[in-house]
A and B are shown apart, each in its own frame.
Chain A
Amino acid sequence: FAEFDDAANLLAANPDATTISIDEPAEISKNQHGRLQEPGREEDDELLGTDDSDKTELLAGQKKSAPFWTFDYYQMFFDVDTYQVLDRIKGSVFPVPGKNFVRLYIRSNPDLYGPFWICATLVFTIAVSGNLSNFFIHLGKPMYHYVPEFRKVSIAATTIYAYAWLVPLALWGFLMWRNSKVMNIVSYSFLEIVCVYGYSLFIYIPTAILWIIPQKVVRWVLVMFSLCLSGSVLVMTFWPAVRDDNRRIALATVGTIVLLHALLAVGCLAYFFDAPELDFPAPIIPVHNGTAVITKS
């Protein structure tokens, strides 16, 4: 039993060391892909220390796939730490020329945390900023009655989640189809595409907050700026995937990606934020039965 003592001593001296055990699933570190043990054993795993990215890469090849109706299957997509999420957000905002977001940051570990919560934050940011902006624009005008406009939250949610999930689905299907026709195309998994799209929406959160400023020029400059930043991340991610294809199809694909991204931004700006220069008095329209109806135009 001398070897076991040595191993235990080594582990006690350096708790962060990479350990590989063959028999007992309970000794696999909790941050490994595809956890197999029950939740009750998690306290034991904390003694083995926290993971780091080297370990993740080493064990990436050993990703176990659980059946999709178990909880463990979905846990594989939340296997990120705080610093990884922050790194991915930074990578989506500052495009590194020549580097691919998927290869550089995601590295076979796509997560659903980022896309889901960035979309949720964006939905509420747009709704709240739009409401605040309209409030400041119409403040002081006679007949203006503040309304919270809560219906717009559902509309914002539908639009943004549809964009973040349906466009990647369409793009993934398209890339799969082209992959079957043309060899040597870099292919991304569906979740990696969802990840890129989710993180690329992050730039719109500070943009939406700054859209409160009621100047048309400022708003359009912000749209252009954020579109350039996140659009370039998207382009640099998907250009290697289509460049081996027919020239026109490649350009059309990349163009469509950027166009949809721009449409989302412009659409949100137009729908949730009233134009600042136009005057929006609330006219009193006499209705035929004599009662006056105040409408917001």
Chain B
Amino acid sequence: DLWGPLVLCVSLALMLQGGSADSKDDGGPQFAEVFVIIWFGAVVITLNSKLLGGTISFFQSLCVLGYCVLPLTVAMLVCRLVLLAGSGTVSFIIRLIVVVAMFGWSTLASTAFLADSQPPNRKALVVYPIFLFYFVISWMILTFTPQ
């Protein structure tokens, strides 16, 4: 199903929304940007996996990638709560640890599903884009600065 991924994606995009800065050009990602990155990124990774000879179906892969955004959504929630308390060095270290841990969890979880559907000599070629995808989302979460 794509219901769960949609809910997660929308909530993550909404939480990343409030971080615009002074000038319109230099702010954080807007809602549409987050939405597009998550869905377009998931589609590209799925296509990549299928083109390399994977046996997983298109929507199964989208579903897995979408659900594995859950740890990062939790990280975003934690970051927003921590930022309410303050935005100094301590808060940054806490946010860094949380985001890194959740990034590792997301990547490992989706890799567990998607890497096994590949022939063994191409596993790394499939895992790397997943790593990049969750890295970009983690970067957006970590650099979120409230107004």
List residues of A whose CB falls within 8 A of some B CB: 30-31, 39, 42-43, 46, 50, 71, 74-75, 77-78, 80-83, 85, 113, 116-117, 120-121, 124, 128, 131, 145-151, 294-296
**In this complex, what residue of A is CB-closest to B147?**
A145
CB atoms of B22 and A148 under 8 A apart:
no
Given contacts A39-B55, A82-B125, 5 further A-B pairs with CB under 8 A are A116-B48, A117-B129, A145-B145, A147-B21, A147-B26
Write 17 A-B pairs (CB below 8 A) sorted by A numbering.
A31-B119, A46-B119, A82-B121, A82-B125, A85-B125, A117-B48, A117-B128, A117-B129, A146-B145, A147-B23, A148-B26, A148-B143, A148-B144, A150-B27, A295-B22, A295-B23, A296-B22
- Give the interface segment out of B4-12, B95-103, B132-140: B132-140
Q: Given contacts A75-B53, A128-B139, is CB(A148)–CB(B125) below 8 Å?
A: no
Q: Which residues of B contact A117 (CB under 8 A)?
A: 48, 128-129, 132
How far, in Å, is A140 (CB) from chain B's closest CB?
12
Known contacts A43-B55, A82-B123, A82-B124; A150/B145 CB under 8 A:
no
Q: Is the interface of B mostly helix, strand, loop or mixed?
A: helix
How many Å from the CB of B132 to the closest CB on chain A?
6
Q: Are A150 and B33 in contact (CB under 8 A)?
A: yes
Least Cβ–Cβ distance between A31 and chain B, in angstroms: 8
- On whether the beta carbons of B26 and A113 are closer than 8 Å, the reply is no
How distant is the Cα of A13 from the Cα of B65 in the complex, in angstroms?
40
Nearest CB on B from A68, distance (A): 14
Could you tell me which residues of chain B, from 22 to 60, have a CB within 8 Å of some CB in chain A?
A: 22-23, 25-29, 33, 48, 50-53, 55
Among residues of A, the one whose C-beta sits closest to the C-beta of B27 is: A147
Chain B residues with Cβ below 8 Å from A83 are 121
Instruction: Tell me the dominant secondary structure on chain A's binding face.
Output: helix
Instruction: Determine the chain B residues whose CB is within 8 A of the CB of A30 once the complex forms.
Output: 53, 119
A131 to B142, CA, bound (A): 12
User: Does B88 count as interface, using CB distance less than 8 angstroms?
Assistant: no
Residues of A within 8 A of B140 (CB): 148, 150
Q: Are A296 and B55 in contact (CB under 8 A)?
A: no
* Set of chain B residues within 8 Å of A151, measured between Cβ atoms: 25-27
Residues on the B chain within 8 Å of A78, using CB: 48, 51-53
Given contacts A147-B21, A296-B26, are A131 and B143 in contact (CB under 8 A)? yes
- Cα of A131 to Cα of B129 in the assembled complex, Å: 22
Set of chain A residues within 8 Å of B23, measured between Cβ atoms: 147, 295-296
Rounded to whole angstroms, the CA-CA distance of A116 and B128 in the bound complex is 12
Query: Contact: A148 with B120, CB < 8 Å?
Result: no
Q: Are B132 and A150 in contact (CB under 8 A)?
A: no
- For the complex, is B18 an interface residue (Cβ under 8 Å from A)? no
Q: B51 near A145 (CB under 8 angstroms)?
A: no
Quote the shortest CB–CB distance from A61 to chain B (angstroms).
Answer: 21
CB-contact partner of A145 in B21, B25, B136, under 8 A: B21
A150 and B29 within 8 A (CB): yes
Closest A residue to B34 using CB positions: A150
**B104 in contact (CB, < 8 A):** no
**Complexed CA–CA distance, A74 and B144 (Å):** 38
B125–A80 touching, CB < 8 Å: yes
The reply to whether A294 and B136 form a contact with Cβ atoms under 8 Å apart is: no
Shortest Cβ distance from B139 into A: residue: A128
Q: How far, in whole Å, are A54 and B100 apart by their CA atoms in the complex? A: 42
A30 and B118 CA atoms in complex are apart in Å by: 12
Task: With both chains docked as a complex, state the minimum distance between the C-beta of B143 and any C-beta of chain A, in angstroms.
Answer: 4
Q: Please, how many angstroms separate the alpha-carbon atoms of A249 and B119 in the complex?
A: 46
Q: Of residues B19, B22, B50, B51, which shows the largest number of chain A Cβ atoms within 10 Å of its Cβ?
A: B51
Would A113 and B125 count as touching, CB distance under 8 A? yes
**CB of A24 to closest CB in B, whole Å:** 19
Q: Cα distance A75–B97 when bound, in Å?
A: 40
